[in-house]
Chains A and B, each alone.
Chain A
Amino acid sequence: MGRPASPPPHAPLLLTLLLAALSFAQTLVVCKDCRITSIKKALELAKDGDTILVKGGTYREGTIVVNKRVRLVGEGYPTLDGQRKYEVLKVTADGVTVEGFRIVNSGVSELEDLAGLKVEGASGCVIKDNLFENNFWAVYLSGVRGCRVEDNLIKGSGEQSEAYTGNGIHLWHCERVLIRRNRIEGHRDGIYLEFVKDSLILENEARNNWRYGLHFMFSHGNTYARNLFERNGAGVAVMYTKKVVMVNNTFRDNWGDSSYGLLLKAITDSLVVNNRFYRNTVGILMDECQRTLIKENDFVENGWAVKLWANSANNTITYNNFLANTFDFATNSRRSENELRRNYWSAYRGYDLNRDGIGDVPYKPVKLFAYIVENNPAASVLLKSPLVELLNLAEEAFPALTAVELKDPEPLLRRVEWRFYE
């Protein structure tokens, strides 16, 4: 064993192979004073596996089509300007990375969805650490599999012009996409999914988008967690979808006449767990919602914490905190086929003689007035009138007035402790 270590006999061969590999994947540098001055030229010269390094400056090259497997990397956030005429970047090859660019001013079209960055029919893309400003659509993935969209900052034009603002991150017919740590504002929907499956939406912040922060259509088996939805037209609309997991999100300040924190429209077999709903017109609006569990959420200072339509059944609402909402519940049905049990209601005035932590009198969260409004929307003009106070008082004095069966037979006396994973 005392022999000095000698290189294995095939070391020179390995070294040669390594050098060959290194020289094979080259880096092409683009800048105003470089040998290559345009990204299009670099793409012409590049081979699969190459890196194109773009230095600072503004590039106006029409639509740049990336049809080779390259890493496109910006240094000092070079600007790619679509001059309000062109789609800026269009990726059609598998395994493309776009990182470190400022992508602005995509074209606007009546007929086409022009984007700042579109990926079409490709897999394995990485779109990371870019700034998107003033694009029609910002990031647009169509027929994409296995991509990551991370750490992008996306700002729409902010014009409230219905015709000319598309979505921030738009996915159509995609699967296995990770959308993480993006900040999106001023678009139509912050994030939009249509026919998308097996995807993760994590830790994004969607603010001031003029329709929804996040919008699902026909997109089954996806998870969104730890996102913030603030001051959007409405927070999140999950529509015509099965098996959605919604965990640890914050829905805040989504106000307006048809607004809500979360809309569950034609949803089955889903989970809404450990979320916070603060100051929304409606916390959760459930319409045609089946077999969904709503557990350990906080509903704080909403107009209505939950609106439950009669066409929703077999849902379970348990261990939630209902704190200082104007109304805790509204429904348009006298009977409810849903399980409401062991929630904490700050408005509960019952007692607990056997000290088991559960109120001895059921809590009826639907106020008579809320029921009247649901069935006669025009009555909402009375919302702040003394008449309503009188109705509520009368209802407390004579509980038989409450029209609705819905009740929590085991209201909790103490707030439910659950952890929000910051």
Chain B
Amino acid sequence: MIRALSLFLLLLLFACEVKPEPEPIRYGKDACAWCRMIIADAGFAAELKTKKGKVYKFDAPECLAAFVLSGQIKKDEILGMWVADFAQKGKLIPVEQAKFLVSEKIKSPMGLNIAAFSSEEDLEEAKRVFGGRVLTWEEVLQYVKERWGDQLHRHHTHHSS
């Protein structure tokens, strides 16, 4: 009896484990947890998942960065963060593996001109077309802080899907 129960609890434990993978984004349906815009462009979306399995979806890398900077979720509660690959629409890549291009010619949904890439060739091609500078995720956080500093704490996020 006790063995059966502990087996059951063990199973339950496994069932509850949060997978380190992004939830699919429902374009045209899910709203951004930061700016509330309905997520429409598969070239710019982003996502954050907490260790408890709560999922926050974003319409743009700058909104994910702003959300992180606002401190609503503590760093050690974050399981993973992903951004859409600009060149391979619909694909979400971990922020650590992404390279970011900032160029005035890139029209990201919230106006900070950021796109993410997983492949070096795609990044080079985009840089040839748009110009601009290449940033890491840490540098993106810094850039968003510089541009939106005063808004980051006034802002208030509500619920996510």
Known: A162-B42, A194-B111, A211-B38. A311 touches B156 (CB 8 A): yes
**A234 surroundings in chain B (CB, below 8 A):** 38
Count of A-B contacts judged by CB separation below 8 Å: 72
Binds A, one of B1-9, B10-18, B25-33, B138-146: B25-33
Task: Check B74 for interface membership: any CB of A closer than 8 A.
Answer: no
Q: Do residues B29 and A258 form an inter-chain contact, with CB atoms below 8 A?
A: yes
Most buried by A among B27, B43, B89: B27
Cα distance, A233 to B31, chains bound together (Å): 11
Task: Check A188 for interface membership: any CB of B closer than 8 A.
Answer: yes
**B158 surroundings in chain A (CB, below 8 A):** 287, 309, 332
B78 to chain A, nearest CB (A): 21
Known: A239-B35, A263-B36. A218 touches B111 (CB 8 A): yes
8 Å CB interface, A153-194 against B: 160, 162-163, 172, 188-189, 194
**A212 surroundings in chain B (CB, below 8 A):** 38
Cα distance, A237 to B28, chains bound together (Å): 13
Task: Check B90 for interface membership: any CB of A closer than 8 A.
Answer: yes
Cβ contact of B31, chosen from A162, A210, A240, A258, cutoff 8 A: A258
Task: Check A19 for interface membership: any CB of B closer than 8 A.
Answer: no
- B38's nearest neighbour on chain A, judged by CB, is A211
Cα distance, A195 to B107, chains bound together (Å): 12
A285 to chain B, nearest CB (A): 8
Cα distance, A368 to B53, chains bound together (Å): 29
Task: Check A2 for interface membership: any CB of B closer than 8 A.
Answer: no
Give 1 or 0 for each of A258-280: 1 = CB within 8 Å of chain B CB.
Answer: 10000101000000000000000
Q: Do residues A160 and B35 form an inter-chain contact, with CB atoms below 8 A?
A: no
Cα distance, A147 to B57, chains bound together (Å): 37
Cβ contact of B40, chosen from A162, A194, A257, cutoff 8 A: A162
8 Å CB interface, B103-161 against A: 107, 109-111, 125-126, 129-130, 154-156, 158-159, 161
Cα distance, A256 to B87, chains bound together (Å): 30
8 Å CB interface, B36-74 against A: 36-38, 40-43
Cα distance, A135 to B89, chains bound together (Å): 19
Task: Check A111 for interface membership: any CB of B closer than 8 A.
Answer: yes
B27 to chain A, nearest CB (A): 4
- A210's nearest neighbour on chain B, judged by CB, is B28
Cβ contact of B89, chosen from A110, A112, A160, cutoff 8 A: A110
**B27 surroundings in chain A (CB, below 8 A):** 162
Q: Do residues A172 and B107 form an inter-chain contact, with CB atoms below 8 A?
A: yes
Cα distance, A162 to B130, chains bound together (Å): 22
Task: Check A75 for interface membership: any CB of B closer than 8 A.
Answer: no
Cβ contact of B28, chosen from A162, A194, A239, A288, cutoff 8 A: A162
Size bracket of the B interface: 20 to 34
- B126's nearest neighbour on chain A, judged by CB, is A111
Q: Do residues A256 and B29 form an inter-chain contact, with CB atoms below 8 A?
A: yes
A156 to chain B, nearest CB (A): 13
Q: Do residues A163 and B90 form an inter-chain contact, with CB atoms below 8 A?
A: yes
Known: A110-B87, A111-B126, A377-B159. A211 touches B36 (CB 8 A): no
A148 to chain B, nearest CB (A): 24
8 Å CB interface, A372-408 against B: 377
Cα distance, A112 to B129, chains bound together (Å): 9
B152 to chain A, nearest CB (A): 13
Task: Check A217 for interface membership: any CB of B closer than 8 A.
Answer: yes
Task: Check A352 for interface membership: any CB of B closer than 8 A.
Answer: no
- A110's nearest neighbour on chain B, judged by CB, is B87
Cβ contact of B43, chosen from A160, A163, A265, A287, cutoff 8 A: A163
**B29 surroundings in chain A (CB, below 8 A):** 233, 256-258
8 Å CB interface, A122-172 against B: 160, 162-163, 172
Known: A256-B29, A257-B29, A311-B156. A113 touches B107 (CB 8 A): yes
Cα distance, A188 to B38, chains bound together (Å): 11
Cα distance, A309 to B156, chains bound together (Å): 10
Q: Do residues B107 and A239 form an inter-chain contact, with CB atoms below 8 A?
A: no
Q: Do residues A211 and B107 form an inter-chain contact, with CB atoms below 8 A?
A: no
Q: Do residues B107 and A162 form an inter-chain contact, with CB atoms below 8 A?
A: no
**A310 surroundings in chain B (CB, below 8 A):** 156
A-binding residues in B (CB < 8 A): 27-31, 35-38, 40-43, 86-87, 89-90, 107, 109-111, 125-126, 129-130, 154-156, 158-159, 161
A-B contact pairs, 30 of them (CB 8 A): A110-B43, A110-B89, A111-B125, A111-B126, A111-B130, A113-B107, A160-B28, A162-B27, A162-B41, A162-B89, A163-B42, A163-B90, A189-B40, A194-B107, A210-B28, A210-B40, A211-B28, A211-B40, A212-B38, A217-B109, A217-B110, A237-B37, A239-B35, A258-B30, A258-B31, A263-B36, A288-B154, A309-B158, A310-B156, A377-B159
